[in-house]
Homo-oligomer: A and B are copies of this chain.
């Protein structure tokens, strides 16, 4: 029941949410996370952000993450949509949805999916600044820590 997509077009969150629960009466809650392009990076104004991925491997990684979340949190459905190409401040980058009979599984599944998506799915961001310069975004250690907390819980 996982919906996995990499796309250049905008993400219609309402439509994706409706698709998850359409025709079903067994879902109790759907948790979601939407990531947006911020207008500044380390205080510097951004003109645009360009996202690149590894066609084939990226979708495989996303499917693997969705399957792991579905098993672990007994999700009834999940959706992972990630945009690529040139995006501007305020635009949606990513959508994660997790559906479950009760809210805690949906909330935990959603947090798990976005943590892993940020640390394990092959996407790379380049920021173009208002001053004409551009730079690839460095991986953040806090993201690896956020994802690793799930592993330690799994072992415990």
Contacts and interface: CB of A to CB of B under 8 A. Distances in A.
Copies of this chain present in the complex amount to 2
B106 A33 contact: yes
A17 B23 CA distance: 23
A39 interface: yes
A12 B15 CA distance: 10
A26 B13 contact: no
A103 interface: yes
B114 A25 contact: no
A43 interface: no
Contact of A110 (B25, B26, B31, B101): B31
Contacts of A13: 13-14, 17
A74 to B, nearest CB: 15
B14 A103 contact: no
Contacts of A111: 107
A37 B24 CA distance: 10
A83 to B, nearest CB: 14
A137 interface: no
Interface string A28-45: 111111111111100000
Interface of A: 12-15, 17, 21, 23-40, 89-90, 101, 103-104, 106-107, 110-111, 114, 118, 146
11 contacts: A14-B17, A17-B34, A25-B37, A25-B40, A25-B89, A29-B34, A29-B35, A30-B36, A31-B110, A32-B33, A33-B103
